Copies of this chain bind each other. A is one copy, B any other.
Amino acid sequence: MKDQINVGLVGIGFMGKAHSNAYMNLNHFFDLPFKVEMTAACDSNTERLDKFCNKFDWKSKETDFHDLIERNDIDIIDICTPNAMHYPIAISAIKNKKHIICEKPIALNADEARKMWETAEENKIKHMVGFNYRRVPALQLAKQFIDEGKFGKIRHFNAVYYQDWLLNPDFPIVWRHSIKESGSGTHGDQNAHIVDLARFFVGEIEAVCGAKEIFIKERPIEGSEEKGVVTADDAAQFMAKFRNGALGSFIASRFATGKKNFLRLEVFGSKGAFSFNLERMNELNIFSVDDDLAEQGFKTILVTESVHPYINAWWPPGHIIGWEHTFIHEIKDFVEAIAENKTASPNFYDGYKCQEVLDAAYKSFDTQKWEEIKQD
């Protein structure tokens, strides 16, 4: 086995920065099977790339992703580009036998996603999709409780993902407003996360029905006097029926005034319940019917004990970690999957299944009725 694994990063925006932080800190806090090396970063804008590599110590640069993918010294391709590029980059990289970690949503639609998953499997590479919120220690803990049956059979999975960064009508058009570049707006961006968490906690979804809205139809184009038409949804919400009989509710918005990055889960089961809020991501709230009636209530667990998932690597009890740590955990788990030749999770299959749900919901926005998700 090699003692080092080399990463090539494509895309150096917000996610590129978050992933860089992960690579920089990974080796220092976890005992990994490999040393993870920040081998090369790739972006077409050389000035921006220079600055980025300089800042985060990427050892080399590429301006064309094909070049990056063809390099023999790269083991993992990390895809942090706008959504429309996920598919072409991933397919090329897979064919070059690179392992892949790809940001979410995995693709523009389920067809692309399925092809990515199938191609990856055929080529026997390891693949992961960047649903980093599975790596919040509090949510890993919730998953342990679910698996132990602590909450019984789940009946309600109600999730919201509120942001408000588009509130100002003068906020200019960016790629995230274009259906062509992003596939969808808040739906693919924010609902993708909570759909993945729904599958993580409750299982597959059978049918969905929803509605979307574009509140501000036109926005300024930066450096121009003209306005551009917004094609991506500002808000998107839908209901779901799960295979296990549970009901679901999913609401994503970029117009949830006052909420910056507010992802809340409320999950109710036959024996207990939990809730979670990303703005207080070190806390998990649980309820159990096993407590004496006089003592029942929601308990707030501060998930910073060494017995909690991932925490042993960090600080003593009560010393909270930040949002970016979720990426460190994610990439740690991916590297371990490679080392142990195990299936990573969530992987392209999860990306694909999530995308199916998103696609069905998106379709229901137009058909105005429930849409079923075919179950394989």
Q: A257-B287, A370-B368 are in contact. Are A141 and B297 (CB under 8 A)?
A: no
Q: With A156-B255, A213-B247, A272-B258 known to touch, is A307 a contact of B320 (CB < 8 Å)? A: no
A24 lies within 8 A of chain B by Cβ:
yes
**A268/B289 in contact, CB under 8 A:** no
Q: Which chain B residues lie closer than 8 Å to A271 at the CB level?
A: 257
Q: Which residue, of A163, A249, A297, has the highest number of chain B Cβ atoms within 10 A?
A: A297
A111 interface residue per 8 A CB criterion = no
Instruction: Say yes or no: is A3 at the interface (Cβ < 8 Å to chain B).
Output: no
Report whether over half of chain A's contact residues are helix, strand or loop; otherwise say mixed. Answer: mixed
Q: Are the C-beta atoms of B167 and A289 separated by less than 8 Å?
A: yes
Q: When the two chains form their complex, are residues A289 and B322 in contact, meaning their CB atoms are under 8 A apart? A: no
**What residues of B have a CB within 8 angstroms of the CB of A128 in the complex?**
none
Count chain B CB atoms within 10 A of each CB in A210, A299, A308 and give the residue with the most. A299
Task: Return the 10 tightest CB-CB contacts between A and B, nearest first.
Answer: A261-B318, A260-B318, A258-B287, A322-B322, A369-B369, A299-B299, A297-B301, A260-B317, A257-B273, A321-B322
**A contact set with B: CB distance below 8 Å:** 14, 18, 20-21, 24-25, 27-28, 55-57, 141, 144, 151, 155-156, 158, 160, 162-165, 167, 209-211, 213, 215, 235, 237-239, 241, 245, 247, 249, 251, 253, 255-262, 266, 268-273, 278-282, 286-287, 289, 291, 293-302, 304-305, 307-308, 314-325, 368-370
Using A156-B256, A258-B297, A320-B323 as known contacts, list a sample of 14 further A-B pairs with CB atoms less than 8 Å apart, ordered by residue number in A. Answer: A20-B28, A155-B253, A209-B211, A213-B245, A237-B239, A237-B247, A257-B271, A257-B273, A259-B318, A279-B318, A299-B299, A300-B300, A320-B320, A322-B322
